[in-house]
Amino acid sequence: MHELVQDLFLRYLGNSLLAARDDAAVWPVPGLGTGRLAVTTDSYVVSPIFFPGGDIGKLAVCGTVNDLAMVGAEPLALTAGFILEEGLSLSDLEQVVASMAEAAREAGVAVAAGDTKVVDRGKADQIFINTAGVGRVRDGTHLSGANARPGDVVLVSGTVGEHGLAVLSVREGLEFSFPLASDCAALNELVAEMLSCGGVLRCLRDPTRGGLATTLNEIALQSGVGIEIEESAVPVSEGVRAACELLGLDPLYAACEGRLVAVASPESEGVLLETLRRNRLGRQAARIGRVTAGPTGRVILETAYGGRRILDMLSGAQLPRIC
């Protein structure tokens, strides 16, 4: 098993860093002296491991690349740690690893170090993957959830909730007549375009666990500002809308894995939306609201029917194992 796995990883993820087979990968990073390092980590325990639009492998790459991108970092390298349940089918594992490799190639980043542990049947659930990422942030780029200022605009790069609903639907064995696939995608190129378009970006965040509503609340809290969102401006696909109605869920709380929320200076709205929409991953970008002086830490939703209500953090149990 160990050899098969190692062989499989080398075959799909192989590069000169992995091939050196030392305890850690070492490589020169010319010019890093002028930038800053970024590191991040995420464990992926999504169930089921295959879902429309992706699988746990693709998710593990895109999710971590996106976490780097959200601080404006270009990915320098990923690491991947696998915990495998005894009895996991090798073809499933192969499919996952192949999909990781493809996602890494598309994002232009290498998996520079890896590790595998196997535990007894019943001591894990098929496969868990941890990916950590190392990136470089250029001088002059300073993105943080603490940077939002009253008057700023709030943008979203596309429709929300596809990932959460796609995973949930297959888990529950639901079939819909409309297409519903995860939005899982690496956003680093899109972010690079946003960073170089001339707009003034304060904050980027990908609305994963807890969805758009939770992400906005985090930004409002971190920055000590209020945020007002127009419900009718938030792009939601027909598929997500219908699935949410059927399941009694709110798309604003459903996870995305290939979308971003941007807070930017009001003057930047035009150039940022233009930049976003030129990229296939930002085609449906929209301005969804603005930052206010208060009430601090609160997100207010202007509903489609003209009312105003507090859009809270997700209360109660989050959808489990969505990523």
Residues that bind a second copy (CB under 8 A): 20-34, 36-45, 66-68, 70-71, 73, 76-77, 79-83, 112-120, 122-125, 128, 130, 132-135, 137, 143-146, 205-206, 218, 222, 320-321
Provide the minimum distance between the beta carbon of 39 and a second copy in the complex, in angstroms, as a whole number: 5
Provide the minimum distance between the beta carbon of 28 and a second copy in the complex, in angstroms, as a whole number: 5
| Cβ closest to a second copy, residue 299 vs residue 301 | 299
| Cβ closest to a second copy, residue 23 vs residue 175 | 23
| Cβ closest to a second copy, residue 31 vs residue 248 | 31
- Whose tokens are 């959460």? That residue is 164
Q: State the virtual CA torsion across 187, 193, 197, 203 in degrees, nearest 10.
A: 20
Report the candidate in 45, 57, 40, 46 with the shortest Cα–Cα distance to residue 100: 57
- Strand stretches in 95-231, DSSP E: 111-119, 127-137, 153-156, 201-205, 226-230
| Cβ closest to a second copy, residue 11 vs residue 321 | 321
| Cβ closest to a second copy, residue 76 vs residue 190 | 76
- Whose tokens are 């998996």? That residue is 111
Separation CA 252–CA 233 (nearest Å): 12
Contact partners, residue 138, CB within 8 Å, separation at least 6: 34, 35, 72, 74, 195
| Cβ closest to a second copy, residue 200 vs residue 246 | 200
- The bridge status of strand 226-230 relative to strand 299-302 is parallel
| Cβ closest to a second copy, residue 55 vs residue 301 | 55
For the stretch 164-173, what's the b/e string if a residue is b when 16 or more beta carbons lie within 10 angstroms of its beta carbon? bbbbbbbbee
Please check whether residue 215 is in contact with residue 261, taking contact to mean a CB–CB distance below 8 angstroms: yes
| Cβ closest to a second copy, residue 144 vs residue 265 | 144
SS3 96: helix
Report the candidate in 103, 82, 203, 101 with the shortest Cα–Cα distance to residue 154: 203
Provide the minimum distance between the beta carbon of 184 and a second copy in the complex, in angstroms, as a whole number: 16
| Cβ closest to a second copy, residue 147 vs residue 242 | 147
For the stretch 186-205, what's the b/e string if a residue is b when 16 or more beta carbons lie within 10 angstroms of its beta carbon? bbbbbbebbbeeebebbbbb
Q: How far is CA 50 from CA 92, 172, 312, in A?
A: 9, 13, 31
Separation CA 162–CA 258 (nearest Å): 9
